[in-house]
Every structure is written in C-alpha cells, then in structure tokens.
Amino acid sequence: MERGDLASHKKKAEQQQSELAYQDEAGVCLLPSVGASYAPCGERPVILADSKNKLKVSLSVVITPQADLYYEVRQGTFNGAAIVRFLKKMKQHLKKKLTLIWDGASIHGSQPVKEFLQEQQTQKRRVWLEKLPNYSPELNGSGQPSR
C-alpha cells in the first residue's frame, strides 16, 4: 500500500475517532500432504492417501496495530452473509469505533455487505470499511512491482 493510501485511511480514522484495523480471510483444506517420498530411480512414486476427507476450514481475522485480534473459524467458506455475521459479532465486543481495511474480494462487495453498510448509515456507526487498492505491488514485501 502506498504511503499516501495508508495516510488517507489513517487520517479518515482519526477524523472519525476510530481505531485502524485490517481484515482478511484464509482457507485450509485438510487433505494429506507429503514432504518427501521414495521410489526407485526414474520411477514416479505412488502415494496412497485417503482423500475422502475434503473438510475445508476457513477463518476471517481482524487485527489492530495494538494486536487486538478478532476471528471466526468455520467449516466451509465465507460468503457475504457470513462476513456480515462476523462483523456484527465483532461489533458487540468493540469498545471503540473501528476503521476496517480489507481487500477487494468479491464477497466484500456482495449484497449482504452492501445492506450492512446501508444499516450502518442509519445506526450509530461503529465500523467503517475501507478497500485496499486493486493493484498494490508494494504489498509483496519488496516495495518494488513484481515482474
């Protein structure tokens, strides 16, 4: 994220007297993995594994610069409605207003999220959502665009 983008999010958070936080989702599929295998030279190894267990676990995490951590783990994947449920649960535990920075995942622009934001306009707003830029090569850690 460019310094200007982060500075604008930080400035908005200060104007709204809210705390800055970051959110993302991740998924893990519980299939067996193998780090090394053995076979006669020149032959492809055959690995027998039970792949009937296709359990997928997903989590949504919010972290603040002060290391406050809010998370939800669920079986399956997150959709727009699940993200809204997570945000509503998180709001119950918040003592401060929160400016949440998240990526442009399609679920973040879903109808349930749009309706949640609409509700936020009419209620005492405690969560603001700010989207990361679509293309952010500086997020790859080197500060230089990927080639």
Q: Which domains does the chain have, with CATH numbers?
A: 3-33+48-137 (3.30.420.10)
- The structure tokens listed for 145 are 């665009």
**102 contacts 24 by C-beta, under 8 angstroms:** yes
- Greatest C-alpha distance within the chain: 69
What is the phi/psi pair of residue 26, to 5°? -145, 150
Q: Which of 18-27, 49-58, 92-101, 105-114 has the lowest mean pLDDT?
A: 49-58
Tell me: the pLDDT tens digits for 25-73? 999 887 666 566 678 888 888 777 666 667 789 999 999 888 889 999 9
Q: Report d(CA 117, CA 83) in Å as an integer.
A: 12
* Cβ neighbours of residue 144 closer than 8 Å, sequence gap 6 or more: 137, 138
CA separation for the pair 80, 56 (Å, rounded): 18
Mean pLDDT of 81-92: 91
Average pLDDT for 11-38: 77
